[in-house]
């Protein structure tokens, strides 16, 4: 569904290396987080709001260093629709999706 979305990520860094993590929409950088204290496990986090259309893609990309997780789940990525696009019907959304496939 087209509209405004809130995206958030949280990660725990790897000990011994800097960490750079980006939030991307269709390849474009929306936000990023950087950690230079490579002697400890630290947290990286970022939140961004972005308008999306049907078919847009959003992801988290690790550019340097690394993040870690285990059964305690140190890594989170969440996206939430905070407001649908005004003036678009469900039929228009479905038609746009069909045209992208």
Read off the pLDDT of residues 42-77 as tens digits, 9 standing for 90 and up.
788 899 999 999 999 999 998 877 777 777 677 888
pLDDT at 97: 66
Segment among 12-16, 45-49, 93-97 with least mean pLDDT: 93-97
Q: From 71, 56, 62, 49, select the one nearest 14 (Cα to Cα).
A: 62
pLDDT at 58: 97
CATH 2.60.120.40 describes domain 3-87? yes
pLDDT at 6: 97
Q: Where are the beta strands (DSSP E) in 1-99?
A: 3-13, 19-25, 28-35, 43-52, 58-64, 67-68, 76-84
* In the chain, where the domains are located: 3-87
Structure tokens that stand for 80 in this block = 């939430």
């Amino acid at each position: 569904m087209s509209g405004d979305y809130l995206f958030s990520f949280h990660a725990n860094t790897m000990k011994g290396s800097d960490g750079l993590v980006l939030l991307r929409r269709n390849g474009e950088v929306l936000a990023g987080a950087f950690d230079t204290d490579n002697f400890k496990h630290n947290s990286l986090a970022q939140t961004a709001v972005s308008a999306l259309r049907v078919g847009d893609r959003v992801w988290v990309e690790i550019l340097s260093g690394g993040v870690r997780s285990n059964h305690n789940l140190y890594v989170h990525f969440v996206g939430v629709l905070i407001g649908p696009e005004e003036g678009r019907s469900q039929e228009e959304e479905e038609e746009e999706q069909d045209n992208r496939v």
